[in-house]
Chain A
């Protein structure tokens, strides 16, 4: 399985820029996607194929990367962005998710 590694938690103030990283144990090309999960809710798709913004998602969110290193950027951060963010690869037939990065807004 392709293992995806994320930092466990971040804390930032509203208005700041935050980057959330995801490192894959092998190259996944650009077959990387990002989800946001707010407490008590199901995940929602933010970014697909590494850098494409899903329809309806604010332009404050952006994604970059290819191969093994990927980044989700939120700029500027708002209080409503409090959530856990997951990366997910679809390079392999068996999809895998990162462990999630919990974002706290101070």
Chain B
């Protein structure tokens, strides 16, 4: 069974970087696409980007200057880094598996990240 689990700090200060890890079991990240999606207070959902089976990346244009998604295939993990965060980046962050037709068939449980001083 495919399982994804996010980990990382729940509190980040403004202007700092947000870093999260997604650990995947039951499936290799050298197949499919592996992405990050966040849900803001008030329910709005935003796709942030993905890293593909080959290591190529695609990002939401609204985040392109601040976001980086990388991976460690030896640990079957992928990572999110979001730079220069503000309070508007407060959200629940989900890691997810995307298929070739860009739907999400597996989600992590989500990690709530608050940006506050």
Contacts and interface: CB of A to CB of B under 8 A. Distances in A.
A95 B50 CA distance: 11
B20 to A, nearest CB: 15
A4 B90 CA distance: 22
A100 B103 contact: no
Contacts of B103: 33, 45, 48, 88, 90
B105 interface: yes
Interface string A24-53: 000000010101000001111100110000
Contacts of A100: 43-45
A86 B45 contact: yes
10 cross-chain pairs, A with B, having the tightest CB-CB distances, nearest first: A90-B102, A97-B45, A42-B107, A95-B47, A33-B103, A100-B43, A48-B103, A94-B60, A42-B109, A45-B105
B107 A43 contact: yes
A8 to B, nearest CB: 9
Given A97-B45, A97-B46, A99-B43, A88 B101 contact: no
A71 interface: no
Given A42-B94, A94-B47, A102-B43, 13 more contacts: A35-B104, A42-B108, A43-B94, A44-B107, A45-B105, A48-B101, A88-B45, A95-B47, A95-B102, A97-B44, A97-B45, A99-B44, A100-B45
15 contacts: A33-B104, A41-B109, A42-B109, A45-B103, A45-B105, A49-B101, A54-B105, A90-B101, A90-B102, A94-B61, A96-B47, A97-B44, A97-B46, A99-B44, A100-B43
Contact of A88 (B43, B44, B60, B104): B104
